[in-house]
Chains A and B, each alone.
Chain A
């Protein structure tokens, strides 16, 4: 342990601490713009400067190591003045239009300006005027609001290993851009939205479909049906100011109904259905000898990543559509038929933790006969926004239950929202499919938790099975490279695009730290612990859907409605030759 003095107080630090990490642990808040938890410091924004005795210059706390006997002062007038000047300079070239900004009241730059007492426009620099990139169905990029902190670039490269964007140009012309500054839709962007979560300003935001949904709800000729993903009920409350980890499933259902949705369904239902299809597919592949390992297909960012970077592994991916798209497909087929409604008159909306789901729903193969299975995807944040627009105080709403037949779920479908959840649900049902008996202990602890890569080797009946769970595409890349190099001890791999899974998705409430993500995860496993039906194959409504409509898992009807295919994506060179 190292002792140092901070603002006249003795504190203890670890030898590998920076000044920032040491003082933060002791409850002293030093502002930062470019710092990212868990990644090496970049030291770009200089907001975290502090005074260190014996050092004539201010030093950045994020990238200065602690030393024994060091005397640090974190909030002297000189320090505060330096920080305020930095913010004032940033504002000098910022559009300064907070009232019209999607991030109004959720913006780090705005908070800093408030906390540091910026009260006048001291610097009036040239404002950047560049077109907003609206090419992507998931992410809107407004370069004018960008302060070049580089957090989006880092998350895209260092966490997701996608590197769709980087710094381009120099000096006043510097900007964040894709290769050749093409639209995001033409880049390798996988639409995960982690850049949105990382962005301190309004430069990155989801492509919003709130207006379209509001219009649909007001249209008497439309039947508007909504589904909500497993993780939404444990994160939505944060949009209303509560602490992370509160499950508001019933309140959310009631609120959705109140604002006018005709039916409220639970995507966890089709998560259960996914387990039936994907589990059967896995068992069939094991019996028929491959291709193995089978890779999960529910995370659309991951699917696009695979199509760009690992097209040779496309045969390994499950052909199952994601739960969102399965729900969309059964709504516009079975449900439409049962209700006697023309599928063209149904507006199918989904509430997702994810921006990539917006892209997924727009894939042409997800729109048979040009009628999309899912019309609009809203993120958790957009739903929060919409409820406020409709004057709904979520926390005061009386809880209600979802509609039949797609409102019933097991907890196996619910835990899809956390990394490892799909695997755990699959293991529970695969055990039953292979042996005819239930597992004695349903908890599969080794696949739980926030670690980026988890593995389990277990026996299902007589069969020795190897399975891996990865979240965050950088972790996926490591494992996929091993598979490419010939690793063959794995049968099944769950891949989630975002670190920790959907509970940390790019569409989730902003400002969540790792503790908040853990709390969200605990909330899902609490539901799993407390409810009775914990295996997907016991979902009675799923069984009925097979009896009345689908036939059997992997049957002809399933194949047509619930399965899909993937294709290699064109790279820059091929695209360039057409320009």
Chain B
């Protein structure tokens, strides 16, 4: 865990170096690059970017939360992306989303405390023919029903249990 924090800090510093002497118009690119490297925007990132651009942390956070693309918790080991585009909506993606929320006690943008699961809602993944679509760690699941999803989550948990026993 400790090394992860140090790595994150180093990643943030790399972004700052790249934007040396930058003005406030660099705020969004910097947030994007930090998220690219670290997977999320940490408190340290908000504080350091704020110092760098002479912006209060509340301002940096305010801008970052305006955009859906930024998350403020690290991604879990199993990262679910649920499509809430029009086609998926018509095919019942809300029920799928509710299933994940209830099963994992998780809101969009959040990560479970054990860092295993995280949830993200996206507008459209361009796979409307397969709707409703869920993406787990880059892999697409087509025509997902709440029942199907429950078994996917169950599989993830079983995999974890096996890993623990090893």
Contacts and interface: CB of A to CB of B under 8 A. Distances in A.
Interface of A: 157, 162-170, 177-181, 187-188, 571-573, 575-577, 579
B56 A169 contact: no
Contacts of A166: 56, 58-59, 61-62
Interface string B59-80: 1111001110000100000000
B19 to A, nearest CB: 18
Contacts of B66: 168-170
Contact of A577 (B5, B50, B57): B5
Contacts of A177: 58, 61-62, 65
15 contacts: A163-B58, A164-B58, A166-B58, A166-B59, A166-B61, A170-B65, A179-B60, A571-B47, A572-B43, A572-B44, A572-B47, A572-B57, A573-B44, A575-B43, A576-B47
A158 to B, nearest CB: 12
Given A180-B72, A188-B56, A573 B43 contact: yes
Interface of B, secondary structure class, is helix
Contacts of A178: 58, 61
A190 to B, nearest CB: 13
Q: Which 10 A-B pairs have the closest CB atoms?
A: A576-B43, A163-B56, A179-B57, A573-B47, A166-B62, A166-B58, A179-B61, A572-B47, A168-B65, A573-B44
Contact of A179 (B5, B46, B48, B67): B46
A575 B58 CA distance: 15
A187 B65 contact: no
Given A157-B56, A163-B56, A166-B56, A180 B62 contact: no
B145 interface: no
A411 B57 CA distance: 43
Interface of B: 5, 42-44, 46-48, 50, 56-62, 65-67, 72
Contacts of A576: 42-44, 47
Nearest to A169: B65
Nearest to A163: B56
B24 to A, nearest CB: 13
A164 B50 CA distance: 13
Contact of A187 (B46, B48, B58, B72): B58
Kindly name the residue among A162, A164, A168, A169 whose own CB sees the greatest number of chain B CB atoms within 10 A: A168
Contacts of B58: 163-166, 168, 177-179, 187
A168 B63 CA distance: 7
Contacts, number: 66
A179 B45 CA distance: 12
Kindly name the residue among A170, A575, A576 whose own CB sees the greatest number of chain B CB atoms within 10 A: A576
B100 to A, nearest CB: 19
A92 to B, nearest CB: 23
A169 B61 CA distance: 9
Contacts of B50: 572
Nearest to B46: A179
Contacts of B61: 166, 168, 177-181
Contact of B46 (A169, A170, A188, A572): A572
B76 to A, nearest CB: 17
A178 B65 CA distance: 12
B53 to A, nearest CB: 13
Contacts of B65: 168-170, 177
B44 A163 contact: no
B109 to A, nearest CB: 11
A187 B65 CA distance: 17
Contacts of B5: 577
A515 B156 CA distance: 68
Contacts of A167: 62
Nearest to A171: B66
Given A177-B58, A179-B61, A579-B43, 19 more contacts: A162-B56, A166-B58, A166-B62, A167-B62, A168-B62, A168-B65, A169-B65, A170-B66, A170-B67, A177-B62, A179-B43, A179-B58, A188-B56, A572-B44, A572-B46, A572-B47, A572-B57, A573-B48, A576-B47
Contacts of B46: 179-180, 572
B111 to A, nearest CB: 13
A109 B146 CA distance: 45
Contacts of A579: 43
A524 to B, nearest CB: 34
A178 B60 CA distance: 10
Kindly name the residue among B44, B59, B62 whose own CB sees the greatest number of chain A CB atoms within 10 A: B62
Nearest to B72: A180
A571 to B, nearest CB: 6
Nearest to A170: B66
B12 to A, nearest CB: 10
Contacts of B67: 170
Contacts of A187: 58
A572 B59 CA distance: 13
B43 A163 contact: no
B131 to A, nearest CB: 24
Contacts of B57: 179-180, 188, 572
Contacts of A577: 5, 43-44
Contacts of A181: 61
A153 to B, nearest CB: 9
B67 to A, nearest CB: 8
Contacts of A168: 58, 61-62, 65-66
Contacts of B62: 166-168, 177
A483 B5 CA distance: 36
A575 to B, nearest CB: 7
Contacts of A573: 43-44, 47-48
Contacts of A179: 43, 46, 56-58, 60-61
Kindly name the residue among A164, A170, A179, A571 whose own CB sees the greatest number of chain B CB atoms within 10 A: A179
Contacts of B42: 576
Kindly name the residue among B42, B46, B57 whose own CB sees the greatest number of chain A CB atoms within 10 A: B57
A181 B66 CA distance: 14
A177 B72 CA distance: 15
A170 B61 CA distance: 12
B55 to A, nearest CB: 8
